[in-house]
Chains A and B, each alone.
Chain A
Amino acid sequence: MEGQAAKRRRVYSIEPKKVVEEAVFTRNYMNYLVPALMKIKAGKRSSHCCEIQNVVKHEVDMAMVFSAQGFAWSNALKANLQRYQNEHSSSSGGPIITSNNPSNSSSKSIKYVNKDIKGEEYEDGFINNNNNNNNNNSKLRCLRRLIPGGEDMCNEQMVEELESYISCLKMQVNVLQYLADKNC
């Protein structure tokens, strides 16, 4: 995903705010993930543990995408995963290091740091005074890296997306915790 140094396009959503319900999300998530995990278990018996990890992580993220559709971040995550999938399938060789995992936010964030700076300062040039400005800017930049697809969002959209993203993350953690505990 190419970052945009210039002013990001401001997207103002006029639709009512979409809320992901917990029950629906959880059900969808489990519906996706459990069969996927079973498939992994059945299929790759002799795989390297790292590869399994990657695949599991991939499925976890796909489940997230599947369960929370309609948000900008979920679309971005989906794009990331598909890109990862392409890369993965092309290089069918050895284990793929987890750092290449697109859902690992820190790895992809590094590329965009420089571009972020320029874009950020243009947008937030008027926030408070300079000290606060820089402080807030860096924090917003941090947030932008954390949320998938954040580089393409303007501040306002990002804050909107954050709401759904955080709640979905929480639900995802709940489900995963349950699954992991059940099988430990």
Chain B
Amino acid sequence: MEKDLGKEIMEMREYYRKGNTKHVTWRRAQLKGLLSFLAEKEVEIFRVLNLDLGKNYVEAFRDEVGLLKKSLNLALKDLRTWMASKEAKLPSIALLSYAELVPEPLGLILVISSWNFPMGLSLEPLIGAIAAGNAVVIKPSELAPASSSLLANALPNYLDTQAIKVIEGGPAVGQQLLHHKWDKIFFTGSTKVGRIIMSEAAKNLTPVTLELGGKCPAILDSLSWSWDKEVAINRIIGAKYGSCAGQACISIDYLLVEKPFSSTVMELMKALIKKMYGDNPRESHSISRIINKHHFLRLKDLLTDQKVKDCIVYGGSMDEDSLFIEPTILVDPPLESAMMTEEIFGPLLPIITVRNFDVLLKHVWRERSLFLVLKIQGFFLGSWIRLKTVLILSIQGLNH
């Protein structure tokens, strides 16, 4: 199997070397092929996402298919501009000279994607790689097997299989692929595997793009208008439970609020969760399930510590058979607990209450190396100015 892989990759390289992927017509044809795939196979795509993750079809469109279509349309529209050489200004003394920046494809790209958005995270990088004129191998995650299968079986009907291939498999196949020389590796997943990928890439001086994660905090300022409060909480709920049940790299991991405001937040959250998901969230079919037993048990473990368990104020029920965890809120779990030191990646929302913003920002600033997204809810004149001032003060070290 390894020898076949090597041969396949060599053939791809030869095909690329002959210039088959360079021309704009080839690139457009592939991008249009992807659009056709998304249109013609939409029902299938919704089906496999539901199979792998229990994802509702509206969520699947909103978070994966719709975004892919948007990207494809943009790429098709702007491709020629992206491909064009751009003049580089030279000083007037350089008479009779002309300089330009010429975009050229890197060559053979390896895209390794994750299981939580198996379509989106496989195809979004593919769009970029094709637009840039490369040959591509995609290795979708084996943890979303139905999606991986669909990609492997259907894509060949829409794309040039001599330049774009889907290779299915788990860590063993991933390792084999990494032994070969690529011109770029694009990886979406955990920091642990990210390190392995970069170490392997170093052997061939292959540049990498690593889309990893972290504990994305949301800071919720004390809001006074009820409309603002509702919008803010809705957005927080949507980001936490509505996008693959919190199993997304940019999901809100935990929420920071000021103590006096925290009870309002909790009550509002409980009410709005009920409004969105009904009395029985599992029956609503609007929340994805946990990807597999391993992650389910990982999340269950986060709650085994009695000190953490005692902090649950809403939800908490888990069903191992259906791998379902209902939207759960905790208040002030201990900061040293696993819940607060590891990326949660699930529908458990810790609310950390702080006395005031100075303390809050010290915490946030200290942990800044872990952020992917910092959401500051509170774009309302008075409190925004206060928050901005505090941010500046904190940066200047006045955070006692």
Does A pair with B?
Answer: no
Interface set of B (CB-CB < 8 Å, partner A): none
Interface set of A (CB-CB < 8 Å, partner B): none
